[in-house]
A and B are shown apart, each in its own frame.
Chain A
């Protein structure tokens, strides 16, 4: 339910199994390595983030849009719908669900055009944002169908705030952990683990980064599956490791070219 994670569609339908996830990606992983696949998602998560910021959406809305995006491709190949179309569609749908207020169609398209031109020219070159409102609206129906109308997404932000309150308000810790939660959207953890576990993992990483030894007893007292927390921590750390040796600006064009793409109707 909307207030209860355990009865929500998020928990009941969208806590995916890692093995299933890997199996469903076989089509894409025939053409891309695991790392390339992750880099492509990282890139489109950036597009969603920048679009959301340009549209002045809250992080909660941006996170929901990112999870829609990941859920769609968890069940479908990248070739099914061009991710450059699905990304803004996710933002559009999430903004309505989270009641930010409807973004006007023209504002959405204009923002896409500006963002692609000004912030992602390293990926798209001179290519303009190719889609119009009718594309987004058509895509939105497909997105909603593929999400099985599960639109309420639980995010780690609220549990994070509660945990930090419990620890004793620590703004630096919260800021770090909050950013780590944002970064976690670039990994698969939002498909695999409940949001409160992601929040704990983010806190854990933040504590290590800040050298906060004194919080060990707090973690020890938590009644959680520490193996799961470790798995999440590892996934996020892996992302940071990947970033160290990765220059998106140089590599993304080749990756996008390699990405499986939609095929048009056969010509008769």
Chain B
């Protein structure tokens, strides 16, 4: 009978019934294996992330379940699965399993659960700073974080993978557990193999890096992504860890523009770094948007700007090892920017305190756990807001649901950040000197960048542990 059926021209049997049944019976459903209802911890352009536990109790670990936005296998879902399937490094997020839900055509990715990320960690420090409270963390925490970020990126780069979207929200940190305090680089959805570019990269995703972390060559229209672009982003993150301020913060209205050239963002970079000298970046003239740059910008407007001055205002001394490494990461000329490997050899990392595997170095983790989001918290913020206020008294200025942003992708993240920045802008706005001095003292205690600020008894005790 089957053969008869086959011979009818217009009605082929695409799939064998027995095969289909067998595969269906062997396939496990994500909701059969994991409990995650009501446990959403993240939402963004990438989809939804849930905190999950195994139903059978075979372990009591937390897992992160990411439901990819949309249905079916988009190209970014394909890339994410393809790459994560191959990647194995202690500082890169580990894909445990993929679930394909045939009925609703949803794709689920199972990861280890990371309780923290740099977006929340930095936010926590900013909030503490604004309310003039100090946060107790190990002196070497920033160094440990940076080292592990570099280690993970070095692994990716040496395996011909570019991240292309590095930002604090994509740098996860493991909470209590066997991998306590371990950095995990995440959100590789846009990552690509670049050993044999089949297509100019810029053609595929018009805008991939959140502007604040975008290298100047991208803003000037560079057609290809490079390792150096990831390194610039790491430099930005390093600066932000040292100061709790996004170094190239810039108001954004239109995030998803396809035009790479972005006047305000370049202006912000020059305001911090100074306008690049010819000798510092010879190939700048070859950039596609160089003519626009010449038309729009005047070197003389940035004569008093330099990275050392900017960092000095934030109490990072120009003669410190941290500063000298930062400067090498944030070189304007992509060809002269150092590689992740060179960065890991920097004297900063051989200077005391040495980086630790657990970035919290065994100390108590001061950051709150991720909050669960309600499905309708977009409209109804009162509930979660109340909870937030209770649990995180330090965070005075949280306008709404920014807790939501777990490894958030470009859009929401930048928008919320922008909001946050505006609200706390008083610190820098009118009276930068005054406002910031307070903050810097605290900063030293928070991240232990400099030795002098460590006055309190508690702080001394704390530091003795390292």
CB under 8 Å from chain B, chain A span 145-177: 145, 149-152, 158
In the complex formed, the residue of B with least CB distance to A267 is: B1
* Chain B residue contacts of A8, Cβ below 8 A: 86
B82–A151 touching, CB < 8 Å: yes
A93 to B144, CA, bound (A): 39
Binary flags per residue of A239-268, CB closer than 8 Å to B gives 1, else 0: 000000000000000000000011111110
CB under 8 Å from chain A, chain B span 1-35: 1-3, 5-6, 9-19, 23, 27
B86–A96 touching, CB < 8 Å: no
Please tell me if A106 contacts chain B, counting CB pairs below 8 Å: no
A158 to B196, CA, bound (A): 9
* Chain B residue contacts of A18, Cβ below 8 A: none
B2–A127 touching, CB < 8 Å: no
* Chain A residue contacts of B199, Cβ below 8 A: 99-101
B86–A261 touching, CB < 8 Å: no
* Chain A residue contacts of B27, Cβ below 8 A: 145
B19–A81 touching, CB < 8 Å: yes
The 3 closest A-B pairs by CB, nearest first: A3-B159, A151-B82, A262-B16
* Chain A residue contacts of B105, Cβ below 8 A: 137, 141
A266 to B75, CA, bound (A): 37
User: What distance in Å separates the Cβ of B37 from its nearest Cβ neighbour in chain A?
Assistant: 24
Categorize the interface residue count of chain B. 35 or more
Binary flags per residue of A131-145, CB closer than 8 Å to B gives 1, else 0: 100010111111011
* Chain A residue contacts of B74, Cβ below 8 A: 96, 102
- Known contacts A61-B198, A98-B198, A127-B9: does B87 contact A1 (CB below 8 Å)? yes
User: What distance in Å separates the Cβ of B227 from its nearest Cβ neighbour in chain A?
Assistant: 12
A9–B86 touching, CB < 8 Å: yes
- Known contacts A3-B159, A102-B75, A127-B9: does B82 contact A263 (CB below 8 Å)? no
Please tell me if A85 contacts chain B, counting CB pairs below 8 Å: yes
CB under 8 Å from chain B, chain A span 92-149: 93, 96-102, 126-128, 130-131, 135, 137-142, 144-145, 149
What is the size, in residues, of chain A's interface with B at 8 Å between Cβ atoms? 52
A1–B198 touching, CB < 8 Å: no
A152 to B158, CA, bound (A): 16
A57 to B299, CA, bound (A): 46
**Interface on B for A, CB 8 Å cutoff?**
1-3, 5-6, 9-19, 23, 27, 72-75, 78-79, 81-83, 85-88, 98, 100, 102, 105, 158-161, 192-193, 195-196, 198-199, 203-204
A76 to B18, CA, bound (A): 12
Partner of B81, one of A137, A149, A267: A149
12 A-B interface contacts by CB (under 8 A): A1-B88, A2-B193, A4-B159, A7-B86, A93-B73, A130-B9, A138-B15, A139-B15, A142-B15, A151-B82, A152-B193, A261-B13
Binary flags per residue of A77-97, CB closer than 8 Å to B gives 1, else 0: 101111011000000010011
Partner of A265, one of B12, B17, B82: B17
CB under 8 Å from chain B, chain A span 196-230: none
* Chain B residue contacts of A138, Cβ below 8 A: 14-15, 102
A189 to B161, CA, bound (A): 27
- Known contacts A3-B159, A263-B2: does B86 contact A58 (CB below 8 Å)? no
A265 to B15, CA, bound (A): 10
A137 to B104, CA, bound (A): 12
* Chain A residue contacts of B12, Cβ below 8 A: 82, 84-85, 130-131
Binary flags per residue of A1-40, CB closer than 8 Å to B gives 1, else 0: 1111001110000000000000000000000000000000
